[in-house]
Amino acid sequence: EQFVGREHELDVLRHAWKETREGEKRVVFVAGEPGIGKTSLVSRFARLAHREGAVIVAGRCDEGYDVPYQPFIEALAPLLEPRGT
C-alpha cells in the first residue's frame, strides 16, 4: 500500500492516541474532499493503534446516502452487539 504525503496527519493521530493512553479523552474526525486519502490515512493509523491495544470503531459519510447519524451508527453498532453469539 502506497502512503505518501500524510506523515503530518498521521503524527496528529499518533499524538492524540498517545494522550489517550495517558488518560486524556479524545475524539478525532477526519474530513476532506473525496479521493484525498482519508480512508488510507485512517486505516494505517487504526492498524498501528490496534497493535497497541486500541479498540477501533469507524463510520463514514457516503455522498447521496442520507441516513441520519450514519457514521455514528456504523461506528457504534458493533459495540452494541451481544458478544459470543
Q: How confident is the model at residue 27 (pLDDT cuts 50, 70, 90)?
A: confident
Whether 38 has a pLDDT exceeding 70, the answer reads yes
C-alpha span between 78 and 76 (Å, rounded): 6
pLDDT of residue 21: 93
Half-sphere exposure of 26 (CA within 13 A, CB side): 16
Q: What is the percent of the chain with per-residue pLDDT over 70, rounded to a whole number?
A: 94
- Give just the sign of the alpha carbon dihedral 74, 80, 82, 84: positive
In the prediction, which pLDDT does 7 show? 87
